[in-house]
Every structure is written in structure tokens, then in C-alpha cells.
């Protein structure tokens, strides 16, 4: 069976500090991978998605970046955090089942920027 | 722009009642539809998926899809306090592409 891991689970960082969040998927190969952010009481905001190693599509962020160094590893980074970067960061993966993709979420990282 | 709309709620139902959650989407080419449940402080959990017009039942949950009217709904029968959560509707236009999420409907089941 497939599992998705994220770490750390919680993180408190000062404004201006760097960020690195990691996500790994087990039990599958060549998954599509996604980073979402969910601000308190808000919906899911897609940040990045990747259909393969080194292939990253960016949706919104200015000071965030993503990398996919290995097939089942997805990393979210920032050089300098902003207060507005606080939120619940979710990694997700999807796979093809019959004629559709199905998406599953990791446990998430709760980031507080002070 | 592809949009998924949900009533934010909160929706309150008594224990044992049927909870009805609704979602509309803008892209007529959408192919796959999903309902996720998100408990407070936790990540979304997939509970139902539906691809064809009509009803799909899984235990106490029934998903209903009407592509002509561009809506998808989730019925929860015999609602339990443990069903209290935010329910997210999601749409996938085509395989290999993005998933679009609604902002979620908050459901409270009152004992």
C-alpha cells in the first residue's frame, strides 16, 4: 500500500529565516506530487505540482520554491519567510486509477512564522 | 477560471438525521469528482469519488453527480457526532491535471 510522509509535523520560525519541508511517498512510482497551503479557516491553495523529476509547475508563490530531486520526494523551500507564510502545508500525491486520477494527502506541516 | 463552489455553512443536523452537502463546478469538461473530510487540525481524507452521473453509495455515504446541472452532492445518512468536520468538494478536469477544491462546508452533528 502507498503511504505519504511529511516532516516536520510542526514548525515555528522567525520572519526572514529559511524553510525546508519534505514530503516522500512510498509504495508507488512516478506519482504526481502537489504542495498546498491552507491558511487558518481558509480553503486549499495550490502552490506547486510536479508530474516528474525536475518538472515543477508554480501556481502562486513569490518567495517559495519547490524541487523534486527524486521520483518520490518533493521539497518546499523558502530563503526568507514572511508572516503571511504561516499556515498548514499539505503534500499530496495522485495516481491513475482506471481513467481518472485520485489524490491523497499527507499529514501536513503546521508552520507558524513569528 | 475553474471554480468549485460550496456553501461554507455551518450546517447543523441532529444525530441520526441525513446531512446533505452540495457543490457546483464551472468546467463542463470535468471528469472526476471527490469528497474529502477534514477534521480540525488534520489533513483531508478521501471519503468518496464519483465519475458517472447518478448515485454512488458507500456505507452511510452517498455521492450524487449531475453533469448536466454541474453539481455534485454528498448525503450522510444516520449522521453521527464523529461526522462533524469540514467537507471539501474537489474536481479533476482530466487525468494528469490539477485538482480544484471548494472552500469546504462545516458540518456539526448535534448529539
CA distance B78 to chain A (A): 26
CA distance A20 to chain B (A): 19
Q: How far is A16 from A71, CA to CA, in rounded Å?
A: 30
What does the pLDDT average to over A2-21? 95
B11-14 vs B105-110, strand pairing mode? parallel
Q: Determine whether the interchain pair A100/B95 forms a contact, defined as Cβ–Cβ distance below 8 Å.
A: yes
Residue B96 has pLDDT above 70, yes or no: no
Compute the residue count for chain B.
Answer: 111
Chain B neighbours among A 60-89 (CB < 8 Å)? 88
pLDDT at residue B93 in the model: 81
Q: What is the mean pLDDT of chain B?
A: 93
pLDDT digits (tens, 9 = 90+) for A37-96: 998 878 898 999 998 998 998 877 678 999 999 999 999 999 999 999 999 999 999 987
Instruction: Give B65→chain A minimum CA distance, Å.
Output: 16
Give the nearest partner residue to A102 out of B44, B49, B98, using CB atoms. B49
In chain B, which residue's Cα lies nearest the Cα of A101?
B95
Q: Which residue reads 448525503 in cell numbers?
A: B75
Nearest to A101 among B96, B102, B104 (CB): B96
DSSP class per residue in chain A: --EEEEE-SEEEE-TT--EEEEEEEES-SS-EEEEEEE-TT--EEEEEEEEETTEEEE-S-SSEEEEEEETTEEEEEESS--GGG-EEEEEEEEEEETTEEEEEE---EEEEE-
CB atoms closer than 10 angstroms to residue A102: 17
Q: Kindly state the helix (H) or strand (E) to which residue B79 belongs, with its residue range.
A: none
Contact B99 A96 (CB under 8 A): no
Per residue in B2-42, pLDDT (tens digit) is: 689 998 789 999 999 999 999 999 988 888 999 999 999 99
First to last CA, chain B: 40
Output the nine-digit C-alpha cell for A46. 495550490
The answer to whether B63 and B54 are in contact (CB under 8 A) is no
Q: What is the nearest CA distance from A106 to chain B, expressed in angstroms?
A: 7
Report pLDDT for A29: 86
Beta carbons of A103 and B98 less than 8 Å apart: no
Q: Taking CB atoms and an 8 Å limit, are A44 and B98 in contact across chains?
A: no
Amino acid at each position: 500500500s502507498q503511504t505519504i510522509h511529511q516532516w516536520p509535523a510542526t514548525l515555528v520560525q522567525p520572519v526572514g529565516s529559511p524553510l525546508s519541508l519534505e514530503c516522500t511517498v512510498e509504495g508507488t512510482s512516478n506519482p504526481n506530487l502537489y504542495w498546498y497551503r491552507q491558511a487558518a479557516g481558509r480553503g486549499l491553495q495550490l502552490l506547486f505540482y510536479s508530474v516528474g523529476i525536475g518538472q515543477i509547475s508554480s501556481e502562486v508563490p513569490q518567495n517559495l520554491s519547490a524541487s523534486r530531486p527524486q521520483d518520490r520526494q518533493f521539497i518546499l523551500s523558502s530563503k526568507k519567510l514572511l508572516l503571511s507564510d504561516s499556515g498548514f502545508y499539505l503534500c499530496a500525491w495522485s495516481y491513475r486509477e482506471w481513467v481518472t486520477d485520485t489524490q491523497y494527502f499527507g499529514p501536513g506541516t503546521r508552520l507558524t512564522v513569528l | 477560471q475553474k471554480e468549485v463552489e460550496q456553501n461554507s455553512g455551518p450546517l447543523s443536523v441532529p444525530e441520526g438525521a441525513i446531512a446533505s452537502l452540495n457543490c457546483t463546478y464551472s468546467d463542463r469538461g470535468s471528469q472526476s469528482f471527490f469528497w474529502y473530510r477534514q477534521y480540525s487540525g488534520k489533513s483531508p481524507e478521501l471519503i468518496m469519488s464519483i465519475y458517472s452521473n447518478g448515485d454512488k453509495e458507500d456505507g452511510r455515504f452517498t455521492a450524487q453527480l449531475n453533469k448536466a446541472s454541474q453539481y455534485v452532492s454528498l448525503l450522510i445518512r444516520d449522521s453521527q457526532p464523529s461526522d462533524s468536520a469540514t467537507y471539501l468538494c474537489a474536481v479533476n478536469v482530466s487525468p494528469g491535471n490539477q485538482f480544484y477544491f471548494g472552500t469546504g462546508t462545516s458540518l456539526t452533528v448535534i448529539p
